[in-house]
Amino acid sequence: MRAMLLAMLLLGGVGVLLVDRAVKHRLSGQEARNAGLQHDSEQLDELIVRLSDLAGQRDALLAQLQGVEALQDGQGFDVFERLIHALPHGVQLTGLTFEAARLNASGLAPSSATVARLLRNLEAVPGLHGSELQDVTASGAGVAFQLRVGVQLSDSASGP
């Protein structure tokens, strides 16, 4: 009877060890799957960041396309013609770029007062709004300036 009890205890102990090993094996497999899922999740997060960057680039390109379409419709030439008439005597534009319904201009003026007159004139031009002086620097040739002004595109709402 003792031998049978001892055999039962031994058999029970072996059974517990086998169950323990099976559980540990399953847990290690689950941990490996979890690590793989974590890695995949991190890759998806990186992809989402890249996609959001691409979406921002797409939006910027669409805004540029809108500006080009406005220029192609002839409105751009009208804006440039109005801009030329807004220039006070002695002001020279040295750079002009159009980006996302904003006109960026740089140039030279005889004085700061002339730059101030240019800003007032730009605000009075139909189709232009929100002129901002970005930089003014005195130089030997007068005053160098950089400014930005909003352009009302043909398919925009009426107002800035």
pLDDT in tens, 99-124: 777 889 999 999 999 999 999 998 88
Question: 33 with 1, same domain?
Answer: yes
Predicted TM-score (pTM) of the model is 0.49
Query: How many domains, the chain?
Result: 2
Question: 27 with 80, same domain?
Answer: no
Question: 88 with 111, same domain?
Answer: yes
pLDDT of residue 108: 93
The range of the structural domain enclosing residue 125 comes to 74-151
Sequence-distant (≥ 6) Cβ neighbours of residue 75 within 8 angstroms:
127, 153, 154
**Tokens, residue 75:** 């409105």
Burial (CB < 10 A; 0-12, 13-18, 19+), residue 160, is exposed
- pLDDT tens digit sequence for 1-33: 888 889 999 999 999 999 999 999 999 999 999
Q: End of a domain among 40, 72, 104?
A: 72
Instruction: Give me the amino acid identity at 59.
Output: D
- pLDDT tens digit sequence for 38-96: 999 999 999 999 999 999 999 888 888 877 776 666 555 567 777 888 899 999 999 88
Please indicate, yes or no, if residue 85 is contained in any of the structural domains: yes
Q: How far apart are CA 133 and CA 105, in angstroms?
A: 10
